[in-house]
Amino acid sequence: MNGSPQQPYPVVPAQEPEDAKVAFRSAIRQQREMRSERRREDAAAAFAVVVGTIPEVREARTVALYAPRPTEPRTTLLMQDLTAAGKRVLLPVLGAGLQREWAEFLDLEDLVPRAPGRPPEPSGEALGTDALGLADVVITPALAVDTSGCRLGQGGGWYDRALEHVRPEVKVFSLVYPEEVYDAETHPLPFEPHDRSVHGVATPQRWFWFGAADD
């Protein structure tokens, strides 16, 4: 997980965290754009397998997930696997006044794009902003995560606010590609007081909780 030529680290001395985040987002988005369609599809299948081995996911009755933007780790196979296993899957939806809420995923045909550049959403009833408290495990998108649990999001701060509704005992983890997991001791991600940490990470190869022995 140490820095490598495939892992951008655009941090300069005395840089403000907000500026460092902007540089990180640009570098990682450029890298994701270069990922081929075949590699995205292969990773999607692998993500579904890896996440399915996580005990907290296997035991969950309700899973909060996300519908991906074009370059984000894809979750459609994972959505289908979870619902086939009898789990309730919640996805973010855009509520009144651009407020983000949650709705239940039924099937892929029910996912509808509601605005250009936004991920598709379920067509069913919005359950409110605090519906995340129903989830037994939460799977978030991220551009990168470091091994202290620092999560770099897209920049809107929505997940930082949404995660306030997660029950204290519930695990939260992010899906990222392998080169997007940073060693917090040598290559920490920029962090601000309002940022919400995650408990672990899943890549197409493996998953682990931070601060715990490898699984």
pLDDT band at 107; cut points 50, 70, 90: very high
In CATH, what class is 17-209? alpha beta
pLDDT, position 215 = 40
What pLDDT, in 10s, does the model give residues 151-194? 999 988 889 989 999 999 999 999 999 999 999 999 999 999 99
pLDDT digits (tens, 9 = 90+) for 17-54: 999 999 999 999 999 999 999 999 999 999 999 999 99
Per mean pLDDT, which range of 3-12, 135-144, 192-201 is the poorest? 3-12
C-alpha distances in Å from residue 170, one per residue of 5, 12, 69, 154, 200: 35, 35, 25, 23, 12
Encode pLDDT of 51-91 as tens digits. 999 999 999 999 999 999 999 999 999 999 999 999 999 99
- Beta strand segments in the chain, E: 62-64, 88-94, 100-104, 111-112, 121-122, 137-141, 144-146, 151-152, 171-175, 181-182, 200-202, 207-209
How do the domains of the chain map onto residue ranges?
A: 17-209
Indicate the pLDDT class of residue 100, thresholds 50, 70 and 90: confident
Which pLDDT band holds residue 5 (cuts at 50, 70, 90)? very low
Query: What predicted TM-score, i.e. pTM, was given to this entire model?
Result: 0.93
pLDDT of residue 156: 83
